[in-house]
Amino acid sequence: MSELVPGGNLPLPEGAVTVRVTGPFDVSALVTDEGGKVRDDADFVFYNQPSAPGARLSGDTLTVDPRRLRADAAGVTVVVSPADPATPLGRLPVPVLEVSRVGGGALARFTPPRPRQETVLLLAELYRRGDGWKLRALGQGYADGLGGLARDFGVEVADEPPTTAGAGASLPSPRPPAPPTRATPPAPPAPRLAPTSPSPALSPDLDAFLTLVNSARGKAGSAPVAFDSRLTRAARAHASAMASAGRLGVEGPDGVSVFQRVTATGYTYVTVGEHLVSGPRNPAEFVEYCLRTDQPRRTLHDPAFTDVGLAYVSRGRSGDTYWTALWARPLTAADLARTVDEVVVLTNRERAGAGLPPLAADPPLARAAQAYSTDMAVHAFYSHTSPEGTQPWDRAAAAGSTRRSIGENIACGQRSAAEVVEGWMNSPGHRANILKPGFTHIGVGFAGGGPAGTYWTQLFGG
């Protein structure tokens, strides 16, 4: 089973899957088209309206069969909100998403950052890519509730009544005390996000932005960052893509992720962070948003970053502004060696806690692991089986390993050695590899890029 982080994704098997969120939450879903918009109120699946073609809600479990969705459906976004509308998400347990094959077989789990003032949370998106479907972890919250949700899905919430939406769709209202009835939408006005082309990228006051950012970093004890032209080019390309689609997203409508845009400029990184935001009118408002929200604030303060890029694009007549800020540290041989060594140290710490001897570094396993992480990042796939059909033991042997038994852990999206080892230890299958008594050697690989941003490989030998 894969442990996902925000932005992480993985291919889904053919057929139906279940998406489950236990706890005091209401689960709902939105079926969207290629532009990321709902068509009408039949595209909302929630407790009042528990089924749509290809999607069915039963209690805390949503079942999605991509083959049975409406013909032009391109995605299904999974949403959670408090079952008691008066209770903010920040006072509830973190909503953990579990995805499985119908009939059994866990596929993925996603634990988003703990919400604070958010009242609605987008947990994940199932989306079509070519002939198949993929799952992407989101973790995007809205402090303004259904209004914010409606804004990003291309509908406009009317002032009266507060639970209806224009453009032919009505959003689910908070759970009512009386028996529920299906909301009837008013006559549809013009959509808020009209299909207009984005205007050229504006030139924000970069000096003002950098001054504000480095002042905040200094107060947090972090070194200043400097602008990098490659990151700024990647930021401009991604902001333009989001404006063209009329929605925020790690992946643009062209299927290219923000991380792939970074590596396309020639910038290779050992760590990366991003802010994808719609709404601020100037750099000061953008920095203010980042500082008042927990996860964005941690990114802005992160001492690991040395470089930054910034751009924003206004979306035609609608006036919506889409911002992309990219934070990174360039990859050096020393940084790569340090990151790989940290994974080995943390892995051996877990083995020591279980009374097991440490794993020794193994150059052939390390070469195979590094080559495979790079392959996943460059060719945008995530699987133990390569596109050429090779398995972990094939890759180990090709690198010169003579170990008799081979095991492999992979992960994508994690931003540090500590985060990836923690994720593996929280997954039974990956944990079993780390704590297998028969393994004596290890090789670790890391690469940045691809749809998920980071790709990690552990190869074990015994």
- Residue 247: its pLDDT value, please? 83
| pLDDT per residue as tens digits for the range 67-100 | 999 888 889 999 888 887 777 788 888 888 999 9
Find the angle CA(98)-CA(102)-CA(104) to the nearest 5 degrees.
70
104 against 445, higher pLDDT:
445
Q: Bridge-partner residues for 124, per DSSP?
A: 78, 137
Q: Quote the pLDDT of residue 252.
A: 82
Question: Mind listing the pLDDT tens digit for each residue in 276-321?
Answer: 988 888 889 999 989 988 888 999 999 999 999 999 888 755 568 8
Rounded distance between C-alpha atoms, residue 154 and residue 39, angstroms: 9
At 59 the three-state DSSP class reads: coil
- Pairwise pLDDT comparison (209 vs 105), residue with the higher score: 209
Rounded Cα–Cα distance for residues 194 and 213 (Å): 33
When pLDDT is cut at 50, 70 and 90, the band that residue 332 belongs to is very high
Average pLDDT on 231-253 reads 88
pLDDT at position 177 is 36
Q: Where are the alpha helices (DSSP H) in 253-332?
A: 258-264, 283-292, 294-301
| pLDDT over 90 (residue 195) | no
| Predicted local distance difference test score (pLDDT) of residue 146 | 60
Question: Cα-flanking dihedrals φ and ψ of residue 166, to 5°?
Answer: -80, -165
Mean per-residue pLDDT over the chain, rounded: 82
Tens-place pLDDT, residues 129-160: 888 899 988 877 766 566 556 656 654 443 33
Phi then psi for residue 191, to 5 deg, are -60, 150
Q: What is the pTM of this model?
A: 0.58
